[in-house]
Structure 1
Amino acid sequence: MAEHAAPSQRLPSHTPTCMGCGPNNPHGLGLEVYRSADVVYADVTFDERHIGAPGLAHGGAVAAACDDVLGFTLWIAGTPAVTRALTVEYLQPVPLHQPHRITAHITAREGRALHVAATGIQKGVTRFTANAVFVVVDTAHFVAHGDISGFGKLLEQFSRHSDDNDQPS
């Protein structure tokens, strides 16, 4: 897959057991996500665990991959947020065993709403696109739903990044 011009930084998984990017989830997608300037990207290769029609990825697996990569745009925004809405357009069949590069970026921010977009390309062909709205939340949102220790220092890093952005220049 083509590399981005700006230096890339590998981003940490959301949690060790995240279905999209968690290294400790044997049923997950195993995404390794990178940031290059104001873009995040990952290569995903769907396999038999993700099959829909013979030889093709299931639309739900494609949507899950998009949702996870879109979630990494939060590193650009510097804040935790959750998916409010996700729309995927399936433009071409998504073959198994072929790497697809998913690239995502923030398109707009309106109050607590982050509008984000992604494109999935395989061998120069755009196979799918996705648009989503994420809503900024605070740590209490996650505490209310379970043990947040799986996040490690992720939420702390967002808080620190947000504090840095609030400082006068």
Structure 2
Amino acid sequence: MSAPSRLPAHSPSCMGCGPENASGLQLEVYRDEDRVFADHSFTEKHSGGPGLAHGGAISAACDDIMGFTLWIAGTPAVTRTLTVKYRRPVPLHVPVRLTAWIDEDADHTLHIGASGTVEGETYFSATSEFVKVDLTHF
């Protein structure tokens, strides 16, 4: 078993992981065998209710972390569907472990799962379908 390796941002300006996007989440994502993960604390720039992370910011974090599973699949793909199940409010300034994995790798699609945990307790989970595309798509 090797140590987790840091993955590069999708682009410098990516809303989820771009280090140059001051309004973004600036996730730092790592690969650990067949999973990817990031530790992230939501701040006031992504707040919803008082002291809580906005559901849209949580959804964006899920979409972005799921996109990093493409390093595992070895193929480019884009999000077709994303469903987030919010189980409990996510407080600001609390470290959340975002984790994503591939549930199924079919001919033209990937089914991907993700979770957000705080001290081992699941605060939200997500499922998505990504469609495999050619690099010329971008």
Judge same fold: TM > 0.5, yes or no: yes
2:132 maps to amino acid: V
Corresponding residue for 1:76?
72
Partner of 1:132: 128
Rg comparison, structure with higher value: 1
Please list every run of 5 or more consecutive structure 1 residues that lacks an aligned counterpart in the other structure: 143-169
Task: Confirm or deny that 1:16 pairs with 2:5.
Answer: no
SS of the counterpart of 2:39? strand
The equivalences for 1:64-103 within 5 A come to: 64-103=60-99
Alignment of 1:16-55 (within 5 A): 16-55=12-51
- In structure 1, distance between residues paired with 2:2 and 2:80: 30
The alignment status of 1:61 with 2:57, answered yes or no, reads yes
TM norm structure 1: 0.80
Structure whose residues are more often helix by fraction: 1
**What's the CA shift for 1:124?**
2.0
What per-residue deviation string (whole Å, max 9, x for no partner) do you get for residues 20-43 of structure 1? 000111111010000000000001
TM-score, normalised relative to structure 2:
0.97
Equivalent position of 1:123 in the other structure: 119
SS for the counterpart of 2:56 is helix
Decide which structure has greater strand share.
Answer: 2
Cα separation, 1, equivalents of 2:20 and 2:89: 29
| Pair 1:109 & 2:105 matched | yes
One-letter amino acid of the structure 2 residue matched with residue 69 of structure 1? I
Q: Which residue of 2 aligns with 1:157?
A: none
What is the rounded CA distance, in whole Å, between the counterparts of 2:35 and 2:8 in structure 1?
15
Q: Percent identity?
A: 59
Q: Which amino acid aligns with 2:127?
A: N
Give the counterpart letter for 1:58 in structure 2.
H
CA distance in 1, matches of 2:2, 2:129: 26
- In the alignment of these two chains, the number of paired residues is 138
Give the Å deviation of 1:138: 0.8
Determine the C-alpha separation between the residues in 1 that align with 2:2 and 2:96.
20
Runs of 4+ aligned residues of structure 1 deviating over 4 Å after TM superposition are: none
